[in-house]
Amino acid sequence: MRHIISILLENEAGALSRVAGLFSARGYNIESLTVAATEDPSLSRMTLVTRGSEEVVEQITKQLNKLVDVVKLLDLTEGPHIEREMMLIKLRATGEAREELKRLVDIFRAHIIDVTASTYIVELTGAGSKLDAFIQAVEANSIVETVRSGVSGIARGEKSLHL
């Protein structure tokens, strides 16, 4: 099962490597990991996507909680939540393809944020599957490069992860 774990972490040197080190040392997999400071500069918020059986994910959350730098965590997949990822994708855009790509961008509610005579850069936000779908939809050899942010997640409604 895929799990999205949200973590409040001390914003200190080395905290990120403790989390990353835990995953490699114990052989857990990381599908994606994002981290940045929060409105409280002493805390970072991390969203970590992993896969494993219930037993493995239980161990992952316990081991994460055991790290002294981990202040609090929440397995978002246990309740209703929103998951978003951002992608920047540079596409070869010449001739007829320019119009074609614009239509596709509209369908996906994406934005073209940079234009040159031969390229577009498209910005697209959504669940990971939407980003995958966009990549599927454009012609494979028109993709120059892609960069994805990794998943950020938040619980819906009253439930929240804060101090």
Partner 1 sequence: MELTGAEILVRCLKDEGVEYVFGYPGGAVLHIYDALYRQEEVKHILVRHEQGATHAADGYARSTGRPGVVLVTSGPGATNAITGIATAHMDSIPMVVITGQVKTTAIGSDAFQEVDSVGITRPCVKHNFLVKDVKDLATTIKKAFYLATTGRPGPVVVDVPKDVTAQRTEYSYPQEVSIRSYNPVLKGHPGQIRKAVDLMLTAKKPMLYTGGGVILSGAQDALTEMTRMLGFPITQTLMGLGAYPATDPQSLGMLGMHGTYEANMAMHHCDVLVAIGARFDDRVVGEVKYFCPEAQIIHIDIDPSSISKSVKVHVPIVGDVNHVVKDMIRLIKEDKRRPDPVAPMQRLTQWWDQINAWRSVNCLKYDRNSALIKPQYVLETLYRLTEGEAYVTSDVGQHQMWAAQFYKFDKPLRWINSGGLGTMGFGLPAAMGVQLAHPDATVACVTGEASIQMCIQELSTCRQYGLPIKVINLNNRYMGMVRQWQEFFYEGRYAMSYMDALPDFVKLAESYGHVGMCIEKPADVEPALREALKLKDRLVFMDFITDQTENVYPMIAQGKGHHEMHLSPDRELA
Nearer to partner 1, 62 or 103 (CB): 62
Of residues 72 and 111, the one with the C-beta less far from partner 1 = 72
| DSSP designation for 67 | S
Of 51-59, 79-87, 118-126, 148-156, the window that binds partner 1 (rule: CB under 8 A) is 51-59
Q: Is 117 near partner 1 (CB under 8 A)?
A: no
What's the rounded Cα separation, in Å, for the pair 109 and 102?
10
Give the residue with the Cβ less far from partner 1, 70 or 124.
70
| Per-residue burial over 105-125, b = 16 or more CB atoms within 10 Å of its CB, e = otherwise | beebebebeeeeeebbbbebb
Q: Are 9 and 44 in contact (CB under 8 A)?
A: yes
Site residues (CB under 8 A) for partner 1, limited to 55-84: 55, 58-59, 62-63, 65-66, 68-72
Nearest CA to 52 among 4, 85, 8?
A: 4
In the complex, least distance from residue 79 CB atom to partner 1, rounded to whole angstroms: 21
Question: CB of residue 114 vs partner 1: minimum separation in angstroms?
Answer: 36
Q: Is 123 in the site for partner 1 (CB under 8 A)?
A: no
75 vs 100, beta carbon nearer partner 1: 75
| CA separation for the pair 8, 11 (Å, rounded) | 9
CB 138 to partner 1: min, Å: 41
Pairing of strands 81-92, 2-10: unpaired
How many residues does the structure list for the chain? 163
- Residues in contact with partner 1 by CB under 8 A are 10, 13-14, 17-18, 21, 25, 55, 58-59, 62-63, 65-66, 68-72, 163
